[in-house]
Amino acid sequence: MRDNIKGGALTETTFFVLLAVYKPNHGYGIMQFIEKETNGRVVLGAGTLYGAINTLVKKEWIAPLNDESDSKKKEYLITHIGKQKAEEELQRIEQVLQLASTVIKGGRIK
């Protein structure tokens, strides 16, 4: 997963997975969240999703929840570090959006 290389940008997959686990969510729920919230533009395969989840767990950006119920679905939740990364990505996207809006609308760049 090529996150935070040079420009600091997260991959789209990483960002969407982080957003999907602001509330406890399991793998299939994460897939559904991403597909629904992108109106079907982004559909992750199981390999891509679980690869991303494993990487984010190793980076400690998300964590599996201790599940005391009988459910076999492992749920994940974003960590403090993950929230920081998501907030940084939001700020980066807002800066890109502002620049793009200025350029496309013919405005002057400060």
Predicted confidence band of residue 8 (pLDDT cuts 50, 70, 90): confident
For the purposes of burial, counting CB atoms within 10 Å of the CB of 86, is it exposed (0-12), middle (13-18) or buried (19 or more)?
buried
What's the pTM? Answer: 0.85
Predicted confidence band of residue 73 (pLDDT cuts 50, 70, 90): confident
Angstrom CA distances, 78 to 41, 46, 70, stand at: 23, 19, 22
CATH topology of domain 12-104: Arc Repressor Mutant, subunit A (1.10.10)
Structure tokens at 65: 């929840």
Q: Where do the structural domains in the chain lie, given as residue ranges?
A: 12-104
